[in-house]
Amino acid sequence: MNRTIAGCLAAGLLFVGTPAIRADDRLDFHVLGSIAPSCDLVADRIRIDLGAVAAGELAGAGATSPWRGAAFTGRDCIGATRAVVTMRATPYPGHPGLIAPVGEAAGVAIEMRSAGGQPLLPDGSTAVEFSWTAGPPELGFQARYVRVGPLQPGTAGATAQVQIRWE
């Protein structure tokens, strides 16, 4: 008898709970997203050769060598007409807008800018913008030495990481 009551009770509870799961229940999905513009690069590295600069060309504090340049070239661009670029590198102590070189030379730092003349700071957050209307984009950069203290001859190079956001 207890089995019959328990079985009827279980079936009754199942039946009472059933209205919560009806055939007309509906779930809505809200999907978000977008397709972002993109470009590939012909090369993922560029080299700016500052050449051998005579110490006499950097006669006093603030003296600079000539600007030298190179460019990243885009290809297979889809929907991109603009690039926003930031650069991260080790800043020169006391001169946060300049890059600290690695090598035997002393008293010089490296200054970077876009080919259009916008300063490119090594802080990883100050952006430089490029735009184009047709054809593959060319993201041009320039570098030069800046005298920041007593000179010591030797090599002075640097590496920087560039972040590009295509728009």
Domain containing residue 48: CATH number: 2.60.40.1090
Query: Does some domain include residue 132?
Result: yes
For the full predicted model, state whether its pTM sits above 0.85: no
In whole angstroms, give the CA distance from residue 126 to residue 116: 16
In whole angstroms, give the CA distance from residue 9 to residue 17: 12
Show the domain range for 132: 38-166
How many domains does the chain divide into? 1
In whole angstroms, give the CA distance from residue 82 to residue 27: 40
What string of pLDDT tens digits covers the 167 residues of the chain? 444 444 444 444 444 455 555 667 888 888 988 888 889 999 999 999 999 999 999 999 999 999 999 999 999 999 999 999 999 999 999 999 999 999 999 999 999 999 999 999 999 999 999 999 888 999 999 999 999 999 999 999 999 999 999 99
Residues 6+ apart with CB under 8 A from 79: 35, 36, 37, 38
